[in-house]
Amino acid sequence: MEVAPAYKSRSGWNALLPQRIAKNQAPKDRRFRTVVVGAGYTGLAAARRLAELAPGEEVLLLDAATIGEGASGRNSGFLLINPGEPSANAAGFAGDWAVRQIALVQAGLDWLRQLVEIYSIDCDWQESVPAITAAATSRGEESVRATCSRYQSWAIESKEYRHDELRRLVGTGYYRYGIQSLTRALVQPAALHRGLADSLPDAVTLLENTAVNSFSGEAPFRLQTSRGEFVADRLFVTNNLHARSLGIARNRMIGIYTYGAFTPQLDEAELSPLGEAPQWGALPAHRMGTTLRKTMGRLLIRSGDSYERELDPDKVRAMLARLYRDRFPGMRTHEFEHVWGGLTAVTHNGAFYFGQARPGLFASVGCGGAGVTRGTIHGKLLAELACGSQSTLLTDRLALRGPNWLPPEPFRRMGATAQIAWEQWLAGAER
Ligand SMILES: Cc1cc2nc3c(=O)[nH]c(=O)nc-3n(C[C@H](O)[C@H](O)[C@H](O)COP(=O)(O)OP(=O)(O)OC[C@H]3O[C@@H](n4cnc5c(N)ncnc54)[C@H](O)[C@@H]3O)c2cc1C
């Protein structure tokens, strides 16, 4: 089992930013009160909140990759407030389960907005760009209409878009119906990820390009890393799927790769077939569908799902070019400047593994979709849990159930690949 992701291509978002010098200087001290493993949105939030709650406490934050290159800098930049877990039953809440879950994720969004303002993080944070959930098929339309009714029952207003309105907005007649999604902001995700990492409190030492290979069982924990041993009284595991290789949630998560691509910078003539709005985002009506964004003078497309293994980049390029052509046949070319894969952790019931695993060992992993806001609030609450803080949000988070058990290989693979194939078929032209 790999200890950390090893992607075949750079994140397109990160490649668009100026070069950044990674924090590669290993500290002289080898012993820290707290070590956090994984500097995605979850780990960054946990490390920041720990430093806020326990001033003077030195925190070491380790990441196997460089900031901007993990999934946190590879995603599509939709900051969503969707209730993450699919049903009241999974959540363990009563009738107001969605409202309480939305409040959790909203708190993640609010904290991010505050940090972006305080530290002037230049990440193209946009709250007024149209972000819709769009359906291309009758089945998709049915599902989006059902979603719209759900929003109404949660007292969330959602604008509806007819076929002709969608065509005007996004420039393609591919979609028949849409609603305003639960996206509350759109960002340049690698810029947000970098900005959060580069504005950490002084008490946090960030060390990039450092993979944690293993750790010993009891506090103080001895961590074996690619830069030697570190010792920690408290350990936070926030490296999502790869927590499995550290013995956490081993039988609770699978890895699903999905894929993104950017066109080159388009000139005015090429941008006009992409609709009258200068920027927009479109999420699919099915979870195996295709996401699009018109942003920074380019088209972003995200689609495809593969079990545990990253597909060959040439095949991904061809697949994404086909989906782009299907939607915008009139474009001069369907070429991409950047194509990349990204890994998400998927649990059977959509739930996170969250809490204290044993004395001194805290973990929040299992973050799939909506991970920018959900990962952030989970990291923050994990630090609050460790520091003994109390709040309604934390109580609500602790009431959520954990992820379901998954069968071992080869049954896991067989089940997951069959489910992916079935859902891809169901998604049809939403892909
Ligand atoms: C293509 C794509 C599009 C997406 N679109 C969206 C979107 O629009 N909106 C949204 O909210 N979410 C989206 N997501 C999901 C989102 O990116 C994730 O849910 C989010 O990044 C999870 O954050 P995290 O901090 O929990 O994990 P990660 O971002 O995966 O961070 C974990 C970190 O741990 C590090 N690590 C792993 N193993 C080790 C180790 N052994 N030692 C040290 N470090 C280690 C990794 O390098 C990584 O930086 C998308 C994901 C992908 C791949």
User: What CATH number is associated with residue 306?
Assistant: 3.30.9.10
Segment 171-220, tens digit of pLDDT? 999 999 999 999 999 999 999 999 999 999 999 999 999 999 999 989 99
Best of 49, 62, 182, 242 for a ligand 1 pocket test (most atoms within 8 Å of beta carbon): 242
User: What's the rounded mean pLDDT across residues 346-373?
Assistant: 94
Whether 263 and 341 share a structural domain: yes
In a domain, 116, yes or no: no
In a domain, 93, yes or no: no
Whether 145 and 62 share a structural domain: no
Any ligand 1 atom below 6 A from CB of 42: yes
- As a 3-state breakdown, the chain gives helix, strand, coil percent values, each rounded to 5, of 35, 25, 40
Whether 156 and 170 share a structural domain: yes
Rounded distance between C-alpha atoms, residue 255 and residue 311, angstroms: 13
* Mean of per-residue pLDDT scores for the chain: 94
Best of 126, 194, 367 for a ligand 1 pocket test (most atoms within 8 Å of beta carbon): 367
Q: How confident is the model at residue 95 (pLDDT cuts 50, 70, 90)?
A: low
In a domain, 376, yes or no: yes
pTM confidence score: 0.97
The SS3 call for residue 7 is coil
Whether 59 and 162 share a structural domain: no
Segment 27-53, tens digit of pLDDT? 999 999 999 999 999 999 999 999 999
- 91 within 8 A of 84, measured Cβ to Cβ: no
Q: How confident is the model at residue 90 (pLDDT cuts 50, 70, 90)?
A: very low
- 309 within 8 A of 324, measured Cβ to Cβ: no
* Closest listed residue to residue 346, CA positions, set 364, 369, 362, 363: 369
Question: Phi and psi at residue 54, in whole multiples of 5°?
Answer: -130, 75
Whether 199 and 215 share a structural domain: yes
The tokens for 262 are: 């950017």
- State in Å: Cα 63 to ligand 1 middle: 12
Whether 260 and 332 share a structural domain: yes
pLDDT for 188? 98
- The DSSP string of 79-105 is EE---SSS-HHHHT--TTHHHHHHHHH
pLDDT for 88? 46
370-391: burial string, b at 16+ Cβ within 10 Å, e else: bbbbbbbbbbbbbbbbbeeeee
Whether 242 and 306 share a structural domain: no
Q: For the chain, what is the domain count?
A: 2
Question: Phi and psi at residue 352, in whole multiples of 5°?
Answer: -90, 155
Whether 164 and 261 share a structural domain: yes
pLDDT for 91? 47
Rounded distance between C-alpha atoms, residue 49 and residue 43, angstroms: 10
Rounded distance between C-alpha atoms, residue 148 and residue 189, angstroms: 27
Any ligand 1 atom below 6 A from CB of 11: no
Whether 249 and 163 share a structural domain: no
Any ligand 1 atom below 6 A from CB of 3: yes
Burial of 56 from C-beta contacts in 10 A (0-12 / 13-18 / 19+): exposed
Q: Which residues pair with 60 in a beta bridge?
A: 35, 205
Instruction: Tell me whether strands 298-307 and 254-262 are parallel, antiparallel or unpaired.
Output: antiparallel
- State in Å: Cα 244 to ligand 1 middle: 14
In a domain, 413, yes or no: no
Instruction: Tell me whether strands 353-358 and 131-135 are parallel, antiparallel or unpaired.
Output: unpaired
The yes-or-no verdict on residue 76 having pLDDT over 90 is: yes
The SS3 call for residue 364 is strand
Segment 285-320, tens digit of pLDDT? 999 999 999 999 999 999 999 999 999 999 999 999
* Closest listed residue to residue 208, CA positions, set 329, 43, 412: 43
Any ligand 1 atom below 6 A from CB of 100: no
Rounded distance between C-alpha atoms, residue 101 and residue 330, angstroms: 42
Domain that holds residue 276: 128-183+256-346+420-430
Whether 261 and 330 share a structural domain: yes
The tokens for 217 are: 């069982």
In a domain, 326, yes or no: yes
- 208 within 8 A of 22, measured Cβ to Cβ: yes
Whether 342 and 263 share a structural domain: yes
The yes-or-no verdict on residue 87 having pLDDT over 70 is: no
The yes-or-no verdict on residue 330 having pLDDT over 70 is: yes
Any ligand 1 atom below 6 A from CB of 161: no
Whether 28 and 144 share a structural domain: no
pLDDT for 85? 58
